[in-house]
A and B are shown apart, each in its own frame.
Chain A
Amino acid sequence: MVEIITLILMLFVLSFLMGDNPFFKFTERLIVGISAGYGFLKLFDDGFIKKFWIPLFQEGQYWVIIPGLLGMMFFFTFSKRWNFLAKYPLAFLLGTGVGLEIGPRIETSILRQINATAVNFSGMSAGQVINYIIILIALLTTMYYFLFVLRRDRPAEKLIANIGIFFMMLGFGASFGYTIMGRISLLIEVINIFFEKITSIF
């Protein structure tokens, strides 16, 4: 029975290929409701029960009242007079959130990337050296293309920017091709699930 319902709902979703229709809209709303309910339950369980209720009432960690109160301050959104208080928990989430981002971002996305690009060629084969040089040229020319403060009037400057465009097109094409294949693999997987369900019914 469940298999039949899932199969019908999958057909409703696929019916969108013929245009927007009531069957798709119904399934779409069903997915929204189930996802929202599941997301709410998951966060309620992970955040409220495990991080607030159990520490407060079973483990006697009374300090968790502070984030609890801070969270409750969100409800001041509904008051016209006191709604500025709802900005306090938001400020906490925002301030600590962006603070948590800065260090790891600089470490992983800048320092380690520079480290991986500026390598020592000693002991490498000719092929590896050429590959690293290509990576370096692609990196520098792409960055040069996006340095809008520089004027690109002279032929040499235009050439560097054009090499950057060439590498970007190569990368975009590869990424697009990769994405197409990923989506088609997912479609094949869905078609497989679809036929598995049909065979399990009959």
Chain B
Amino acid sequence: MKIMVPLLIVFIGGMLMTFQYYIDIPLLNNIYKGVLDWHMVIAVFALVIAVKSLIERQWKNFRQKTEHPVYPLTTLISFFAVVLLGIFFGLKQGSPVNFIYNNFLVPLQATIFSLLAFYISSAAYRAFRAKNFSSTVLLIAAMIVVMGRIPLGDLIATWTTISISGKDFAILDFPGWTRWILTVPNVGIKRAFIFGITLGIVSTSLKVILGIERGWLK
């Protein structure tokens, strides 16, 4: 009961969903559509547990004073405020929750992500050093792409354009080089990685379906 039933559910569910992709039978197609809806319904109940965990954790921090009480209180108050506003006024356009989303959440999340610009620049300063051949290639590729994506790159391409037998040719064509790097060698290595990642995902999925991988049962 404790091991066999979950393994059986995983096996049947996994096999059905795998076969429905390859076999065009109306019954399997209907099961597929139903399963997508079931996922949403089941996920809501899992979310209740996640919310309980969040509230418990914040309340514990508040009670035990592991950090300044303002922080857990901020999380709890903002969470309940949004949930209550959503329950009473809904989520539609113009509702208070929609207002909070557009005026606070979107700009603040964008600001947090923009902080990464500083840290990624600092990482680039350390990574882009021509210590050996490989790192020099990395540096040159990155510099070409950076130059190719800024207006200065376009300007340099225009300034260095010469005409050879009636055809325009840019000596320092950073935008063109960027396009070539991103669409030719980059595509090749990305495909190699995609093959590796996909084979890993498929083999792990098969291990789960066949009950070889049971880590999730612990």
Residues of A near any B CB (own CB < 8 A) = 2, 5-6, 9-10, 13-14, 16-17, 22, 25-27, 29-48, 51-52, 63-64, 66-68, 70-72, 74-75, 77, 84, 87-107, 109-110, 113, 116-117, 131, 134-140, 142-143, 146, 165-181, 183-184, 186-187, 189-190, 193
Chain B: minimal CB distance from A177 (Å): 3
User: Once bound together, how far apart are the Cα atoms of A44 and B139, in whole Å?
Assistant: 48
Chain A, interface SS category: helix
Which residues of chain A are near B71, meaning CB under 8 Å?
Answer: 25-26, 29
Q: Which residues of B lie under 8 Å from residue A187 when comparing CB positions?
A: 114, 117-118
Residue pair A34, B104 in contact (C-beta under 8 Å): yes
Inside 8 A of A186's CB, which chain B residues have their CB?
A: 110, 113-114, 116-117
Q: In the complex, A23→B193 CA distance in Å?
A: 41
- If A30-B78, A48-B41 touch, does A169 touch B188 (CB 8 Å cutoff)? no
**Is B40 close to A, CB under 8 A?**
yes
* Interface size band for B: 35 or more
Q: Are A40 and B78 within 8 A (Cβ)?
A: no
State whether A170 and B141 are in contact (beta carbons under 8 Å apart), knowing that A96-B14, A99-B16, A102-B206 are contacts in the complex.
yes
Cβ of B46 to closest chain A Cβ, rounded Å: 5
Chain A residues within 8 Å of B109, by CB: 31, 35
A41-B87, A99-B17 known; 6 new pairs, CB 8 Å cut-off, are A10-B111, A38-B100, A96-B16, A136-B188, A167-B189, A189-B110
Which chain A residue has the least Cβ–Cβ distance from B183? A131
Contact partners of A189 in chain B: CB under 8 A: 110, 114
List chain B positions with a Cβ less than 8 A from chain A.
1-2, 5-7, 9-18, 20-22, 32, 34-35, 37-49, 51, 54, 68, 70-72, 74-83, 86-87, 91, 97, 100-101, 103-105, 107-118, 120-121, 124, 127, 133-135, 137-146, 149-150, 178, 180-199, 201-202, 204-206, 208-209, 216-217
Closest chain A residue to B116, Cβ basis? A183
Which residues of chain B are near A32, meaning CB under 8 Å? Answer: 75, 78
The docked-state distance in angstroms from the alpha carbon of A4 to that of B12 is: 56
Can you show 13 pairs from A to B with CB atoms below 8 A apart? A14-B115, A33-B75, A34-B78, A43-B40, A51-B41, A75-B45, A139-B192, A142-B192, A170-B189, A171-B141, A174-B178, A183-B116, A190-B114
A15 CB → nearest B CB, Å:
10
A171 and B194 contact, CB distance less than 8 A = no
Residues of A within 8 A of B42 (CB): 67, 70-71, 74, 89, 92-93
